[in-house]
Amino acid sequence: MQADAMSDRAAWRRELYRIIFQHDTRGGKLFDVALIVSIVASVIAVMLDTVESIHATSGDLLYAAEWGFTVLFTAEYVLRLLCARNAGRYARSFFGIVDLLAILPTYVSVLIPGSQYLLVIRILRVLRVYRVLKLVKYVGEADTLMTAMRESRRKITVFLLAVLVLAVILGSVMYIIEGEQSGFTSIPRSVYWTIVTLTTVGYGDISPQTNLGQTVAAVIMMLGYSIIAVPTGIVTIELSRARERRPPPRRCPDCGEVGHDPDAVHCKFCGERLERGAGGYASSGASRPI
Amino acid sequence: MQADAMSDRAAWRRELYRIIFQHDTRGGKLFDVALIVSIVASVIAVMLDTVESIHATSGDLLYAAEWGFTVLFTAEYVLRLLCARNAGRYARSFFGIVDLLAILPTYVSVLIPGSQYLLVIRILRVLRVYRVLKLVKYVGEADTLMTAMRESRRKITVFLLAVLVLAVILGSVMYIIEGEQSGFTSIPRSVYWTIVTLTTVGYGDISPQTNLGQTVAAVIMMLGYSIIAVPTGIVTIELSRARERRPPPRRCPDCGEVGHDPDAVHCKFCGERLERGAGGYASSGASRPI
Amino acid sequence: MQADAMSDRAAWRRELYRIIFQHDTRGGKLFDVALIVSIVASVIAVMLDTVESIHATSGDLLYAAEWGFTVLFTAEYVLRLLCARNAGRYARSFFGIVDLLAILPTYVSVLIPGSQYLLVIRILRVLRVYRVLKLVKYVGEADTLMTAMRESRRKITVFLLAVLVLAVILGSVMYIIEGEQSGFTSIPRSVYWTIVTLTTVGYGDISPQTNLGQTVAAVIMMLGYSIIAVPTGIVTIELSRARERRPPPRRCPDCGEVGHDPDAVHCKFCGERLERGAGGYASSGASRPI
Amino acid sequence: MQADAMSDRAAWRRELYRIIFQHDTRGGKLFDVALIVSIVASVIAVMLDTVESIHATSGDLLYAAEWGFTVLFTAEYVLRLLCARNAGRYARSFFGIVDLLAILPTYVSVLIPGSQYLLVIRILRVLRVYRVLKLVKYVGEADTLMTAMRESRRKITVFLLAVLVLAVILGSVMYIIEGEQSGFTSIPRSVYWTIVTLTTVGYGDISPQTNLGQTVAAVIMMLGYSIIAVPTGIVTIELSRARERRPPPRRCPDCGEVGHDPDAVHCKFCGERLERGAGGYASSGASRPI
């Protein structure tokens, strides 16, 4: 009888697990859509609350909404802990922490009122969107992009470091040339201006006034215009390589069937545990809760 | 005798159809050139009418011109409906709707005077330019571009979503750092600024004033400067693939069947004259009027 | 004796021709360097003369320099006409016209004083720099670039047309949204702003003030940030193709030797006239004066 | 006995040489980390000293820090001279000169007080970061980038020259169109504005006010937006070629010979220890001290 209860509970947990963590059943898809709507709505609510005129007229409503979303996400978090095969591992995973950070600030704000810095933590909720994105077919695409970016990370770092060194030197030169009167009041400020110019952002809050300064600025612009080609070239090449290097299909070690979802843990045909295999996918997130 | 009249009318319609919908006869080309000139002229007239000084001096003239173009386009629309083999299908096609939208606003403005919002609908006329573009050899080129963009649509979407999530998080951070005094008055406004900076547009209407804010801004610029490489890489690769692929199949303008030989002049199923070679035509738009 | 004089004159003309039009002798190289220095100096003189403070103090000097350069370039033009094997063909070639335009404005300014519009024609002198550039090894590089740009011209045109149509529609939308108070005073002005934003230039002289306007602006920026990938992809592909399609070496029809300069007319080993051959090079300029 | 002393000294020098110039021992790595921290700290100190508020409160502290860093770098420079196998060659190498320039300005400032221009020389210290970067695995990446940039140097130069010529012509046209009242006060200033616009920087300190001026400006922006594709295409292609090429040969730090096997630990000609694997090292800088 106890074994029956056990297996009942196991069945219930398995069902819940399928809805919350997986995306291939109807219930799972509905859950995902509901979740994504709540996340986007709650992030928009947090953002709108900082607009003074909206805070003045609808502050109470937004406060209530914030508590509503928090209760909802808390329930979801508890359910995830309950049905995860290994609750501790889920809690320590990347998305486990993001899920916790999505609810903590509201509770903390009761204890430590007025802490504005909790805002940013609340905004981090937006990251949860990525978890749900797995439901759609965009995972493969995101994966190719991630692989390309991981591969080009080092070259981009070397490139950005070179840009930074260039910006420090050119910024100092501009500080000497322009001096105080045109806004180049210190080297850090000049370096800031140089980065604004090299990256072709060009705010115009600081801009050179002397002839020599404008000439050097023109050189810096041409430089920035040319070297933007470097990261582009790097990523293009890595993308074209990432594309060629598609992961092999995962095959069930028991029944030999293929066609499993990237985040599937068990074979959907015979229930046998799948190997972690298929490189790219496995490393693309922390969704396997066991 | 009635059959004679019928076939007479059919011949007349076929001739008209060839002039209006096809581009390979001399009459068809003349019609296309006249049409493109009218479209461009009418769009310019709508635009100039919003310039106050021009409206004051030549408002009446532009009003007359608007009616002239409307009558012209109405005649064209009626002729298209008449000679199209399947008037209903033409009316519901993309270009059929654009053709209707090009004339409706002027008539509506008589009933509901002063509605400024009709302006944008009038401007949509500019889309009609694309229909006529088929006359030149640029179709093949546009087709390659369209294919590449269609293929990279998903990756670009994933990328833009990631940029948006990044902008929301970084915008919130800047809101906390800069506070009210530098124009970062709310998170939505900060997010707007972050997008302005990440995309290297840099208006300068809002710009960070604190040291920490400028440092974070510099990091955001470097980020924007680097990640612009991602869509570029995606499109480059898709373009190089689109190029390798063979042209889409030619489609009969009458029965809609495909599978014609490259050198076929008439549809092998219904005998209707096929558009000239370049398979590109078929898939590039909604010109089939039936 | 007359034949002797003839051949004497021919020898003299041939020597001059080699110095002025060709770049492989010592004299020819010296002439090229002298010419490039004069061109750059004369363009800088024209530019500096428009700076009020410089015009006030050194206007007379610059006026004298302008006449000096004009006399120099006139002498050069006459010599070119004299030694060119076909003076008429040289005069009608692209560089022949540029050479004439470099000297005409100064003479015309005596007849029609104060004509400011001659300034731009004078500035066109800067194009003469290209002729001399042939002396260095950069020709091959410039040629690859030119080929790639010629090949991608059509696709870029289609792309820019699409951007323009997009800018007209989005500009009209912004005109309706923002209205008069934020600088979006007419549709042409709104379209101008949209192009400033789509191309990520972002002056900030006009910028949206309403919430809806800023949201649409953010969308326009993301769009501009993404579609800049299109011309980049096009050019990258054409460049990689231009590289593969190197012209075959020109071979002397008489002695069979290769290794002739791109603009060589005669074989440098046996003097035989070379075929116009070697595609890319022949089309890259108008330097062959005969 | 003297030989013993000699070899003792040699052993001491060799040990020091390994710590200072090489990166594969524990001591060498510690030294590198300490050096990179000092360099970054000293550059930040120089930069902060130009901020007026910081100079007012912590000027004395920064002055002391500057002297501390100078003494440290002087000691390092002397040690490098001492243990380098060929002190003269080290002193004349690129990094030898940078090392000297890192310490000279502080001493010179005692003799010639108040010379602001020494600031930039002090900032050049930041270049020393590159020497230490060799310790990490980024060398290979930097090497690929350098190769690609070296290969595309000529094409980029041709491109930038074309952009400059374009900017001169378009700048003159804008000067004629806009005239004095919108900030286009001289051709050099107009050319500056054109470069700001072509490179999509767009400060907004100068912006066209007339209708014709804004139209031409829109054309310039579209042009800049399209031609940015050219350097990108060039670098992408060169990067993809640089990748295919095999690494440059390893060079013995002592005798300068090349041709060592990939797994060689010692020079096969003189027995000196070779730098660890990655051929990249040899060509990436001037670290060979002899």
Is residue C221 left, alpha or beta, with left meaning phi > 0 and alpha meaning psi from -120 to 50?
Answer: alpha
Provide the pLDDT for residue B252: 61
End-to-end CA distance of chain D: 27
- Does the structure's ipTM exceed the value 0.95? no
Q: Count Cα atoms within 13 angstroms, Cβ side, for B141.
A: 22
Q: Residue C48 has which token pair?
A: 């500096």
Average pLDDT of C178-196?
Answer: 88
CB-facing half-sphere around the CA of B208: CA atoms within 13 A? 28
Does residue C149 contact residue C235 with C-beta atoms inside 8 Å? yes
- Rounded to an integer, what distance in angstroms lies between the CA atom of residue C30 and that of residue C11? 20
B148–C158 C-beta distance less than 8 A: no
Residue C1: its pLDDT value, please? 46
- Whether residue C137 and residue D154 make contact (CB cut-off 8 A), yes or no, is yes
- Comparison of pLDDT for C170 and A136, the residue scoring more: C170
Measuring CA to CA, which residue among A63, A218, B157, C152 is closest to residue D203?
A: A218
Closest-CA distance of chain B to residue C34, Å = 41
Number of H helices, E strands in chain C: 12, 0
Predicted confidence pLDDT, tens digits, chain B (290 residues): 455 555 666 778 888 888 887 777 788 888 888 888 999 999 999 999 888 888 899 889 999 999 999 999 999 999 988 888 788 888 888 888 888 988 888 888 888 776 667 778 888 888 888 776 655 556 667 777 788 888 888 888 888 888 999 999 999 999 989 877 778 988 999 999 999 999 999 888 888 988 899 999 999 999 988 888 888 888 888 888 877 664 555 566 666 555 565 556 666 666 666 665 443 333 333 333 33
Between chain A and chain B, the number of residue pairs with CB atoms below 8 A apart is 137
User: If you average pLDDT over every residue of chain D, what do you get?
Assistant: 79
Q: How far apart are CA C198 and CA C276, in angstroms?
A: 45
Q: CB neighbours of B7 closer than 8 A, spacing ≥ 6? A: none
Residue D2 · residue D113 · CB < 8 Å: no
Q: pLDDT band at residue D110, thresholds of 50, 70 and 90?
A: confident
pLDDT in tens, C196-223: 999 999 888 888 988 899 999 999 999 9
pLDDT at A267 over 70: no
Whether the CB-CB separation of B121 and B105 falls below 8 Å is answered with yes
What pLDDT is attached to residue A290?
33
User: Of A202, A232, A236, which has the smallest distance from its Cβ to C202's Cβ?
Assistant: A202
* Mean pLDDT for chain C overall: 79
pLDDT (tens digit per residue) in C41-65:
999 999 998 888 888 998 899 999 9
- Cβ–Cβ contacts within 10 Å for residue A274, how many? 17
Burial D174-198 (b: 16+ CB within 10 A, else e): bbbbbeeebebbbbbbbbbbbbbbb
- CA-CA distance, B153 to A141, in Å (whole number)? 10
Please name the residue ranges forming H helices in chain A.
2-21, 26-49, 52-83, 87-92, 94-111, 118-123, 128-133, 138-178, 187-198, 211-227, 229-244, 279-282
Q: From its phi and psi, is residue A213 left (phi > 0), alpha (psi between -120 and 50) or beta?
A: alpha
pLDDT at residue D280 greater than cutoff 60: no
- Per DSSP, the three-state class of C25 is coil
Residues from chain D that touch B202, judged by Cβ atoms under 8 A, are 201-202
Condensed to tens digits (0 to 9), the pLDDT of residues B117-145 reads 777 888 888 888 877 665 555 666 777 77
Structure tokens at A202: 């060009």
Looking at chain C, the whole-number percentage of residues with pLDDT higher than 70 is 76
- Please determine, for residue A204, whether its predicted confidence score (pLDDT) is greater than 70: yes
For D50, the closest of A154, A158, A175 (CB atoms) is A175
**What is the pLDDT, as a whole number, of residue A118?**
79
* Residue percentage of chain A with pLDDT more than 90: 22
Quote the pLDDT of residue D290.
Answer: 33
Q: Where are the alpha helices (DSSP H) in chain D?
A: 2-21, 26-49, 52-83, 87-92, 94-111, 118-123, 128-133, 138-178, 187-198, 211-227, 229-244, 280-284
Residue B192: the pLDDT is 93
Q: What is the pLDDT of residue D1?
A: 45
Find all residues with CB under 8 Å of B209, minimum gap 6, and list them. Answer: B178, B181, B182
State the chains in contact with B (3 or more Cβ–Cβ pairs under 8 Å).
A, C, D
pLDDT (0 to 100) of residue B209: 87
Tell me the CA distances in angstroms from D67 to A98, C236, D128, one per residue in order: 47, 51, 18
In 3-state terms, what secondary structure has residue A206?
coil
3-class SS of residue C273: strand
pLDDT of residue C8: 64
Q: Residue B52 corresponds to which tokens in the numbers above?
A: 């106050």
Contacts of B187 in chain A (CB under 8 A): 46-47, 50-51, 119, 123
Of the partner residues D204, D232, D236, the one whose CB lies closest to the CB of residue B204: D204
Q: What integer is the mean pLDDT of C246-252?
A: 55
D274: which DSSP letter?
Answer: P
- pLDDT reading at D289 higher than 60: no
> Token match 């004159």: residue?
C9
List the structure tokens of B197. Answer: 């900076």
Residue C51 CA to residue C194 CA, distance in Å, equals 32
Secondary structure class of C50 (helix, strand, coil): coil
Question: What single-letter DSSP state applies at residue C287?
Answer: -
Span B183-210, pLDDT tens digits = 898 899 999 999 999 999 988 888 898 8
Taking contacts as CB-CB distances below 8 angstroms, the residues of chain B near A144 are 155
Identify which has the larger pLDDT, D287 or C69. C69
pLDDT value at A285 more than 50: no
pLDDT digits (tens, 9 = 90+) for A206-254: 889 888 999 999 999 999 888 888 888 888 888 888 776 655 555 565 6
What pLDDT score was predicted for residue A29?
A: 81
Per-residue tokens: D204: 């907004």
D38-70 pLDDT, tens digit each: 999 999 999 998 888 888 998 899 999 999 999
- If one counts every other C-beta atom within 10 angstroms of the C-beta of residue C57, the result is 11
CA distance B197 to chain A (A): 6
**In this structure, how many other beta carbons lie within 10 angstroms of the beta carbon of residue C5?**
9
Whether the CB-CB separation of C119 and D176 falls below 8 Å is answered with yes
Contacts of A94 (CB under 8 A, 6+ apart): A285, A286
Q: Work out the angle at residue B112's Cα, subtended by the Cα atoms of residues B111 and B115, and round it to the nearest 5 degrees.
A: 145
Environment class of residue C8 by beta-carbon count within 10 Å: exposed (0-12), middle (13-18) or buried (19+)?
Answer: exposed
> How confident is residue C114, by pLDDT bands cut at 50, 70 and 90?
low
In sequence order, the β-bridge partners of residue C273 are C266
pLDDT of residue B77: 92
Most confident of A73-77, A119-123, C144-148: A73-77
Question: CB distance C204–A200 less than 8 Å?
Answer: no
In the numeric block, which tokens belong to residue A281?
A: 């996918």
| Contact between A18 and A28 (Cβ < 8 Å) | yes
Residue D88 has pLDDT above 70, yes or no: yes
pLDDT of residue C15: 82
* Cβ neighbours for C261, distance < 8 A, ≥ 6 positions apart: C22, C23, C24, C268
Q: Is the pLDDT of residue D287 over 50?
A: no
User: pLDDT averaged over chain B?
Assistant: 79
At residue A278, the pLDDT reads 38
Candidates C232, C235, C237, partner chain A, best to mutate (most A CBs within 10 A): C232
d(CA D39, CA D19): 17
Confidence of residue A279 (pLDDT cuts 50, 70, 90): very low
Residues of chain C with pLDDT > 90, as a percent, come to 23
Q: Give the mutation candidate from C169, C197, C226, C230 for the B interface (greatest B CB count, under 10 A).
A: C226
| Residues of chain D above pLDDT 70, percent | 76
Cβ of D224 within 8 Å of Cβ of C239? The answer is: no
Tokens for C101, please give them: 């335009």
Instruction: Calculate how close chain D gets to C74, using CA atoms only, in Å.
Output: 22
Averaged pLDDT for residues C22-50: 86
Q: What band does A157 get if pLDDT is binned at 50, 70 and 90?
A: confident
Burial A236-273 (b: 16+ CB within 10 A, else e): bbbbbebeeeebeebbbeeeeeeebebbbbebeeeeee
- CB proximity list for D81: less than 8 A, separation 6 or greater: D87, D90, D91
Inter-chain CB proximity D160 and A218 less than 8 Å: no
- How confident is the model over B22-37, as pLDDT tens digits? 777 788 888 888 888 9
Residue C137 has pLDDT above 70, yes or no: no
* Per-residue pLDDT, D191: 94
- pLDDT of residue C125 exceeding 80, the answer is yes
Q: If you average pLDDT over each of A190-204, C275-289, D112-126, D176-190, which comes out highest?
A: A190-204
Whether the predicted pLDDT of D72 surpasses 90? yes
- Which tokens go with D266? 């010692």
**Could you give the CA distance from residue D21 to residue D17 in angstroms, rounded to a whole number?**
6
Contacts with D236 from chain B: Cβ below 8 Å: 236
pLDDT score, position D285: 36
Interface contact flag, C47 D188, Cβ < 8 Å: yes
Query: DSSP letter string over C67-130?
Result: HHHHHHHHHHHHHHHHHSSSHHHHHHSHHHHHHHHHHHHHHHHHHSTT-TTHHHHHHGGGGHHH
Which pLDDT does position A156 carry in this prediction?
84
What pLDDT was estimated at residue B87? 85
Residue pairs spanning A and C at CB distance below 8 A: 9
Average pLDDT of the segment spanning C251-268: 61
Q: Across chain B, which distance is largest between two alpha carbons, in Å?
A: 91
